[in-house]
């Protein structure tokens, strides 16, 4: 139920041991990447450590400001530029990105961005979004997803329930979205609904608070948003993955063991911790403790395991 980040260009022995025990996978960042040959070797090390299981080997390769492989593969424009060119361009860029990722050994891209760029002062989304129009975001994102997955690389739609109206960066603080339920449904959720209908297998949560829906819990830890809205209202049956749990938007005010408990209660399938210094490895222990101590948490984990196995069966 955990995807980890780590330091350096080689797979740490501790993460390799966890992969051997069933760790869901890893997320690689620029700090892990030197050149194409090294990336291929590293991805091979990860697969070897996982043995017969298929590990998730993920990366954020959106384009524009967020492309971890900058300098290793051809440059990708911001998705706002791609969206302006239309869905055919989005499909082609998805295919190009997927081809590059597959050639290096990745099997999952944390893309496409399904956020609608509604707040011009948003410091974290901006030109990462395809458009300011939810319908156009939906069309372009689905096209991108189909292009990406035609190469064998799976996509992940983010950041549910929509990060486009935020006014602060969730890496640094907790954004509060003052959106009525009707506004959320008619704007932010439109691209997510379209991607779910198109067969999206993974959705990443947003570290945002939506008081009109759940005044107490950030979206990542909210049963109301994840169970009632994402699974119930949108009919999503795939994997729900957190955004990085080291970000201040969720970590501030929530100790790691509390994040483990609330995440299980909310229905998280995959806990993503990208931080260094083995912080994510500690999360594995917190989850194990919660699952062993509670039958309810164990049942939630077993359901998550079924969804995770189904996703990993699709991995190349």
Domains in the chain, ordered, with CATH? Answer: 2-313 (3.20.20.300)
Instruction: Say what the pLDDT of residue 170 is.
Output: 65
- Would you tell me the crossing angle of helices 189-197 and 134-149 to the nearest 10 degrees? 30
3-state secondary structure of 127: helix
Q: What is the pLDDT of residue 307?
A: 97
Q: Is 267 helix (H, G, I), strand (E, B) or coil?
A: coil
**Dihedral over alpha carbons 87, 92, 98, 104 (to 10 degrees):** -150
Beta-sheet pairing, 25-28 with 2-4: parallel
How much is the pTM?
0.95
Please tell me the predicted confidence (pLDDT) of residue 223.
97
- 240's enclosing H/E stretch is strand 239-241
Q: Which helix (H) or strand (E) holds 63?
A: strand 61-63
| Cβ atoms 157, 108 nearer than 8 A | no
Contact 10, 39 (CB under 8 A): no
pLDDT of residue 164: 87
Catalytic site positions: 171, 243
Region of residue 253 (left: phi > 0; alpha: psi -120 to 50; beta: else):
left
pLDDT value for 254: 82
Q: How many CB atoms lie within 10 A of CB 294?
A: 15
Mean pLDDT, contiguous 10-residue spans, the chain (316 residues):
95 95 96 97 98 96 96 96 98 98 98 94 90 98 98 98 81 83 96 98 95 95 97 98 90 85 96 82 91 95 96 92
Whole-number pLDDT of residue 280: 84
């Amino acid at each position: 139920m955990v995807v980890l980040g780590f330091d350096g260009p080689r797979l740490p022995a501790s993460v390799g041991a966890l992969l051997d025990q069933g760790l869901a996978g890893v997320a690689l960042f620029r700090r892990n990447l030197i050149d194409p040959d090294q990336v291929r070797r590293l991805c091979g090390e990860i697969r070897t450590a996982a043995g017969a299981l298929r590990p998730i080997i993920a990366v954020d390769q959106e384009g524009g400001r967020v492309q971890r492989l900058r300098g290793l593969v051809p440059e990708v424009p911001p998705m706002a530029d791609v969206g302006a060119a239309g869905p055919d361009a989005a499909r082609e860029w998805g295919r190009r990105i997927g081809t590059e990722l597959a050639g290096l050994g990745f099997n999952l891209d944390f893309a496409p961005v399904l956020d609608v760029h509604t707040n011009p002062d948003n410091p974290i989304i901006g030109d990462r979004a395809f458009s300011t129009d939810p319908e156009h975001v939906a069309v372009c994102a689905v096209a991108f997803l189909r292009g990406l997955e035609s190469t064998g690389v799976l996509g992940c739609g983010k950041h549910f329930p929509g990060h486009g109206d935020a006014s602060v960066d969730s890496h640094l603080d907790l954004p509060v979205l003052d959106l009525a339920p009707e506004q959320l449904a008619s704007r932010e959720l439109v691209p997510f609904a379209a991607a779910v209908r198109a067969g999206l297998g993974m959705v990443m949560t947003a570290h945002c608070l939506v008081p009109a829906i759940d005044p107490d819990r950030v979206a990542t830890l909210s049963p109301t948003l994840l169970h009632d809205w994402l699974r119930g209202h949108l009919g999503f049956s795939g994997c729900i993955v957190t955004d990085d749990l080291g970000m201040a938007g969720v970590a501030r005010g929530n100790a790691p063991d509390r994040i483990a408990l609330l995440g299980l209660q909310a229905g998280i399938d995959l806990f993503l911790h990208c931080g260094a210094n083995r912080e994510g490895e500690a999360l594995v222990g917190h989850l194990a403790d919660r699952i062993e101590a509670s039958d309810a948490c164990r049942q939630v984990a077993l359901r998550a395991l079924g969804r995770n196995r189904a996703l990993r069966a699709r991995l190349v």
